[in-house]
Amino acid sequence: MIFKKLTAFLKKDIKVFTSYKLSFLMTCFGMVLSVTTFYYIGKLFGKSANQYLTAYKTDYFPFVLVGIAFYAYLSTSLRTFSSHIREAQVTGVLESMLVTPSSFVEIIAGMSVWDFIFASIRILVYLALGICFFGVRFNNPNILAALLILVLTIVCFSSIGIMSAGFILIFKRSEPIGAFIGAVTGLFGGVYFPVEVLHPKLQFISYILPVTYSLRGLRFALLTGYSLKALIPDIAILSLFCLILAPLAIIVFKYTLRRVKIEGGLAHY
């Protein structure tokens, strides 16, 4: 049953997406420009960054390529739920969806399934561009370990995204939490540069963010081929974040949903 519901959501989102061909082309063009820009930034400043990259056994461009590629999952996890909830509010279908026999888990999963599939496509495009056109090489990558870290990352940041969606149910407007967290993770999480570049006092912020351990683990798995045993510290910390954030997200969303149902606010936006 849940598979049929997810398939229905997926078909709907694919039809909407393919209706805007120019948007798709511009997205692809933007990815090419992004990869090319960071390639030449690496050519210009890469040598000064190499002293911070010895642990990864690579240059700046492969380092940042992994960062911008997998940041697609992070941003999707943070924004997809709140954006779809807001869209459903504005178009007037939120009340109809939430009073159906479907559980909120099925609705949330259905809303996001296409976004995560498209994020996966974007990651493959980023990596393919780096490998085929810019000479990026991965040294014996540990794909299974990278997938495990990726799953933990999605669970962790999706939990934050679901809490953001809960706030939208109450406040009826696009909340700033997801955007703020996205900006903080981009700056302090090691997406574009190693966190070791930051001042030691600022590195404290980096090490309380799950994205730091996510990207570090992914880079060690893909760029240096670390074994699962060597990646246990990062995996353990990500698992702890998941154990805390996932139940909290369910509690917050159920509370906000129950509150708006009691107040009769599902039809208001």
pLDDT of residue 218: 95
User: Does residue 86 fall inside a structural domain?
Assistant: yes
pLDDT computed for residue 12 by the predictor = 81
Give the per-residue pLDDT at 168. 82
Does 269 reside within a domain? no
Is 69 contained in some domain?
yes
pLDDT the model gives residue 176: 62
Structural domain count of the chain: 1
User: Helix or strand or coil: residue 195?
Assistant: helix
Q: How far apart are CA 116 and CA 122, in angstroms?
A: 10
Q: What's the whole-model pTM score?
A: 0.89
Whether the pLDDT of residue 3 is over 60: the answer is: yes
Kindly give, in sequence order, each residue whose CB lies less than 8 Å from that of residue 253, ignoring residues fewer than 6 positions away: 104, 108, 162, 163, 165, 166, 169
In a domain, 268, yes or no: no
Mean pLDDT, rounded, for 36-55: 85
Q: Does 52 fall in a domain?
A: yes
Q: What is the pLDDT of residue 13?
A: 82
Query: Is 46 a residue whose pLDDT tops 80?
Result: no
Which amino acid belongs to residue 136?
Answer: V
Range of lowest pLDDT (8-12, 139-143, 184-188): 8-12
pLDDT mean across residues, the chain: 86
Q: What's the burial of 167, exposed, middle or buried (CB within 10 Å: 0-12/13-18/19+)?
A: buried
pLDDT tens for each residue of 167-220: 888 776 655 666 788 788 888 999 999 999 999 889 999 999 999 999 999 999
Whole-number pLDDT of residue 173: 66
Count Cα atoms within 13 angstroms, Cβ side, for 263: 13
Share of the chain above pLDDT 90, in %: 37
More confident residue, 99 or 252: 252
- The domain in which residue 51 lies consists of 2-263
Residue bearing the bigger pLDDT, 181 or 98: 181
Element (H, E) at 107: helix 104-134
Q: What is the structure's pLDDT at 175?
A: 58
So what's the pLDDT on residue 223? 92
> Is 118 a domain residue?
yes
Amino acid 1: pLDDT: 65
- Distance of alpha carbon 9 from alpha carbon 163, whole angstroms: 21
